[in-house]
Structures are given as structure tokens and as C-alpha cells.
Amino acid sequence: MGLHQDRVERSPAPVVSLSLGDTGLFRLGNTPRYGVEGGRAITP
């Protein structure tokens, strides 16, 4: 699943991502597509 922007969908519901059994990297806000990537690693 790549970065998601609600403005490109008709549904007003937010996207929720869940990682089971492995480290998940959640990108929040306006992260750049190239260069330094922002995010927060969540470990189980």
C-alpha cells in the first residue's frame, strides 16, 4: 500500500493500515516521494 490521499477518493472514510507480526512503517503528513522519507516504525 503506497501513500494515500483522501482527495483522490469519493469515500469520506479514512484509510486504516494494520501490520500483524512484523514491523510497520507508517508515513504521516506530507512526506516527499524522493529523497529523505519520513515515517515512524511500529514494532510488535
Give the Å distances, CA to CA, from 20 to 28, 29, 33, 39: 19, 23, 25, 18
Q: What is the C-alpha to C-alpha distance for residues 25 and 27, in angstroms, rounded to an integer? A: 6
Indicate left, alpha or beta for 29 from its phi (over 0: left) and psi (-120 to 50: alpha): left
The count of residues in the chain is 44
Q: What is the pLDDT at residue 27?
A: 67
* Confidence at residue 14, expressed as pLDDT on a 0 to 100 scale: 72
Residue-wise pLDDT tens for the chain (44 aa)?
A: 556 566 666 777 777 776 677 776 666 666 566 555 556 666 65
Write down the pLDDT at residue 16: 75
pTM of this prediction?
0.23
Instruction: Give the per-residue pLDDT at 24.
Output: 67
